[in-house]
Structure 1
Amino acid sequence: MKKTILLFVLLALVYCTQNPLFLNETYTTGLINIGKASDIFYWHFESRRNSTADPLVVWLTGGPGCSFELALFLENGPFTVNDNQTLDNNPYSWNTQANLVFVDQPVGTGFSKAANDELVRNEDEVAEDFYAFLLGFLQQNPQYIGKPLFLTGESYAGHFIPAIGAELVKQKNPKINLQGLVIGNGWVTPKLQNPAYGTYAYQNKLISGLQYYTFTKPVLATCEALISINAPLSLTNAVCGLGYQSIVGFNQTPKFNVYDIRKQCLGSLCYNMTNLDNFLARDDVKSALGVSGRTWQECSDTVYVALSHDEIVNLANKVAYVLDSGVKVLVYSGDQDFQCNYLGSLAWVNEMEWTKQEEFKNAKFEEYIINGKSAGQIKSAGILQFFRVYQAGHQVPMDQPEVALAMINKFISN
């Protein structure tokens, strides 16, 4: 049954402000009510170049249930957090040539809140909630009505972005001018991306050939088969998890950083988030953001569990639908990431059924040159591009900020 969404929007417009705490970056924040007792928090930054002329770029973090603040402060937002709880300017922020909006979604993520009966359970509900959020955002920020819109994000946003993009295309709302989707190291087609764990691990010497051929590859092939026949989720998860753990180990801490195989795993997300955790716990910070009394968390287990049946769903058909409607798509993937590695990403993009599938599969890779150096390889057909980013992990804007900024600016300006 389609979930009923009640949208309540503040009648007053939201005005941009500046605050020395946030290095006088021009920004707004807001809460858009979704349903009876839930809301979605956003943080919007005006373009550093020309807010009137530049497009609107929306960023979604994955998880599911992980907060956008992780990306904002560690990847492509205007700041980074120092040990002494001050901020430094990020010259490679994605609001260099775009109006940038970070969104804590689904409901219950980050500073957003959710009633238990309003947690999303599938991507249709994710898309419905986001459409309601976007209408509320545009009411609070009417300067962006009809402005070229690009949806971007990484990791489990590979599920969110296709679903939301397809919903926006379907709605045909003249206020929403969707121009492109950008999926970074995304989890899109589990049937194809699970087997890639073994291939990637073997090619990068994370496991031996003996282990790959005698155990990991057969187990992951069984995982693929179980997904294909829609086997019971408990069985599928057990088998797929066994193949994955045969590579990363069976301890709570993986043998290596699954988001960057060159590094060790430190902490629950394999990176030290102490500075960010402490900064977002400060009362003055929460007051400035308009979320006083709320508690921030990196990732919500509640949101994750609510979407547990969603993980093995294939979202490539939604990407194809968006492409065939005329909306361009960029898929990029850092080649040092294990979690959503580039081999799995390339597999789902190649196998996606759309009008130019064969042309894309047969397209040749070309070097992607930035400032006279090769930053990776790219291939394309029509309005679809796939970009393998050299020497970058799961968080490409963190590992290769100059490359990521050049990539997004080129995509949104074409």
Structure 2
Amino acid sequence: MNKFILLLAVLGLAFCSQNPLFLNETYTTGLVNIGKASDIFYWHFVSRSDAQKDPLVFWLTGGPGCSSELALFTENGPFSVNDDLSLKYNPYSWNNNANLVFVDQPVGTGFSKAGMGELVKNEEEVGEDFYQFVLGFLEQNPQYKGRPLFVTGESYAGHYIPAIGAELVRQANKDINLQGLAIGNGWVTPEVQQPAYGEYAHKNKLINDLQYYAIVKPAYSVCESLIAIKAPLFLIELSCDIGYKTIVGLGKPKFNVYDIRKPCIGALCYNMTNVDNFLAREDVKTALGVSGREWQECSYAVHQELQHDENVNLANDVAFVLQNNVKVLVYSGDQDFACNYIGGLAWTNKMKWSGQADFQKAQFSDYIVEGKSAGEIKGTGNFNFLKVYQAGHMVPMDQPQVALHMINSFISQN
């Protein structure tokens, strides 16, 4: 009987693999059961440096409902996809000095499965599911129990990460050693980030003075007020859309909303066809342990279930984790419109916490990488805001060397 129990325990563990298909990068994949009929898929890459000692870093893509494999192949993962569907090594992957895990969450995202009625509807449910995911991940990968852990991501993960961080702090599980949260171009406090669309567009000459003062600024003033009083969603969308569509246009955007220097190509303003085709290959899905599943860039169903979550303010959760000695980095590429740095700076300044006054008074200083100014940073205590120069919404895509320097500095225990 004891041998049988031991066998079952061993079968539940994830064993590292190397596969020429994935350029012999050392990895594991897995599915963690959530609820009655749902699961969350992950793809874990061991550190290229010291896998036994380096911290554990989770990455979450936003949406809501978009797969973290998008970032894996186009931003900070070990490789990208060539036109012939082979892979290209990425020297700036975030697993250079960390054990890196790309997570398809919430349930129903990417390769993950959502059971009937189990799609999440708010950030409390996101946090609860992710806590269960971490427990399952650690059971499958017990070498990481107690290891310094960081949760990172971008865009709508500005909602996910604070909620997840707060839940992990509340649970106070000795196996989960949460050390920090990093939010890239995140959607955290809509009440102040919505009006920043107008200010950013005007500053970057995406609209003229007449459009800004006559249409956009008044529309966003109403939008801000409606969010503040928690007005019905349709009223908020009506007022906010007046400003947004004046800037971006009707139908196809006038510019790439994630990088104002570029045109918008494809549903996500980037051509992800190579990633789509690679993850549709049967040999790839077999190697990942997801045969019979269909991957999608973003799930409309997940997005729709969270529509009433979009205008919720998550800054209180950021403040909560800060007060519990978890460090937080907020970083923003300066060429992003969608979750721009003006809105990012606005919400970080407005957030109420014990260090608010000191943070507001803090001055920016140059952020130096390889002897050059790559951005500007300000902060106090365990909270910092970094603006990255010449980067859009996906900072690791546009400034991979700077992004790697940033994350390595953040996760360093020195």
Instruction: State whether TM-score is above 0.5.
Output: yes
Deviation at 1:234, TM superposition (A): 1.1
Report the counterpart of residue 103 of structure 1 in structure 2. 103
Deviation at 1:10, TM superposition (A): 8.4
- Cα distance in 2 for residues equivalent to 1:335 and 1:154: 14
Report the counterpart of residue 130 of structure 1 in structure 2. 130
Secondary structure, aligned partner of 1:40? strand
Per-residue CA deviations over 1:6-41 (Å, capped at 9, x if unaligned) read xxx985211101000000000000000111111000
Aligned runs of 1:324-343 on 2, under 5 Å?
Answer: 324-343=323-342
Change (3 A) 1:19 1:11: closer
Report the counterpart of residue 37 of structure 2 in structure 1. 37
The code of the aligned residue for 2:182 comes to V
- Cα distance in 1 for residues equivalent to 2:167 and 2:295: 29
Report the counterpart of residue 5 of structure 1 in structure 2. none
Per-residue CA deviations over 1:177-204 (Å, capped at 9, x if unaligned) read 0000000000000000000000000000
Per-residue CA deviations over 1:364-399 (Å, capped at 9, x if unaligned) read 000000001100000010100000000000000000
Alignment partner of 1:291 is 2:256: no
Alignment partner of 1:306 is 2:293: no
Report the counterpart of residue 6 of structure 2 in structure 1. none
- Cα distance in 2 for residues equivalent to 1:238 and 1:122: 22
Report the counterpart of residue 322 of structure 1 in structure 2. 321
Runs of 4+ in 1 over 6 A off after TM superposition: none
- Cα distance in 1 for residues equivalent to 2:126 and 2:237: 22
TM-score (norm 1): 0.97
Secondary structure, aligned partner of 1:51? coil
- Cα distance in 2 for residues equivalent to 1:187 and 1:380: 19
- Cα distance in 2 for residues equivalent to 1:87 and 1:203: 39
Query: Alignment identity in percent?
Result: 70
- Cα distance in 2 for residues equivalent to 1:71 and 1:10: 31
Alignment partner of 1:218 is 2:218: yes
Aligned length: 406
Secondary structure, aligned partner of 2:84? coil
- Cα distance in 2 for residues equivalent to 1:218 and 1:250: 19
Aligned Cα root-mean-square deviation (Å): 1.0
- Cα distance in 2 for residues equivalent to 1:287 and 1:125: 30
Report the counterpart of residue 21 of structure 1 in structure 2. 21
Report the counterpart of residue 399 of structure 1 in structure 2. 398
Secondary structure, aligned partner of 2:117? helix
Aligned runs of 1:274-289 on 2, under 5 Å?
Answer: 274-289=273-288
- Cα distance in 1 for residues equivalent to 2:116 and 2:337: 33
Deviation at 1:273, TM superposition (A): 0.7
Per-residue CA deviations over 1:326-383 (Å, capped at 9, x if unaligned) read 0000000000000000000000000000000000000000000000110000001010
Uncovered stretches (5+) of structure 2, i.e. residues with no partner: 1-8
Instruction: Tell me if structure 1 keeps the 8 A contact 2:37–2:116.
Output: no
Per-residue CA deviations over 1:81-121 (Å, capped at 9, x if unaligned) read 00001001000000000000000000000000102300000
Uncovered stretches (5+) of structure 1, i.e. residues with no partner: 1-8
The code of the aligned residue for 1:327 comes to V
- Cα distance in 2 for residues equivalent to 1:373 and 1:34: 46
Secondary structure, aligned partner of 1:152? strand
Secondary structure, aligned partner of 2:254? coil
Alignment partner of 1:389 is 2:349: no
Aligned runs of 1:110-259 on 2, under 5 Å?
Answer: 110-251=110-251, 253-259=252-258
Change (3 A) 1:10 1:259: farther
Alignment partner of 1:87 is 2:87: yes
Secondary structure, aligned partner of 2:230? coil
Secondary structure, aligned partner of 1:116? coil
Per-residue CA deviations over 1:190-230 (Å, capped at 9, x if unaligned) read 00000000000000000001110010000001000000111
Change (3 A) 1:234 1:10: farther
Report the counterpart of residue 379 of structure 1 in structure 2. 378
Instruction: Tell me if structure 1 keeps the 8 A contact 2:333–2:387.
Output: yes
Instruction: Tell me if structure 1 keeps the 8 A contact 2:153–2:161.
Output: yes
